[in-house]
Structure 1
Amino acid sequence: MAQHDDEIRKRQRARATVLGLILGAFVILVFAITIAKIKAGMAH
């Protein structure tokens, strides 16, 4: 039973890590797009 619980926790941790990385990448992407738009707006 304990081994089964450990396997579930390991999978949950892996899923949480992947989700965190995807979320972090999305935040960086939005930030980069925002900076690009601000710089494009300053050129006018």
Structure 2
Amino acid sequence: MATTPIRATHELHNRRFSRNFGLGIVLVLFVGIVYGLTIAKVGTDPRDDLGADWATAQEKAAK
């Protein structure tokens, strides 16, 4: 049984990996931005009844 020699990766594979890695980073950043904006939008508003305790605590801490 003949063994196949180990070949070095082709230059095309290196370019494809770099492109995929860059795209992966962009997608992770996009998901992070969407997640952050969602948390900011859905977060408790200190002016409503749900945030009243939090707002009171913040005012006491500021004094």
- The CA deviation at 1:30 is 0.2
Structure with the greater alpha carbon radius of gyration: 2
Q: Flag structure 2 segments of 5+ consecutive residues without an equivalent.
A: 1-6, 49-63
The aligned counterpart of 1:37 is 41
Choose which of 11, 18, 21 in structure 1 pairs with 2:15: 11
Q: Where has structure 1 moved over 3 Å in runs of 4 or more?
A: none
Please tell me the residue identity of whatever aligns with 2:36.
A
Aligned alpha-carbon RMSD (Å): 1.8
Matched, 1:21 2:25: yes
TM-score by length of 1: 0.79
In proportion to residue count, which structure has more helix? Answer: 1
Q: Flag structure 1 segments of 5+ consecutive residues without an equivalent.
A: none
CA distance in 1, matches of 2:29, 2:10: 29
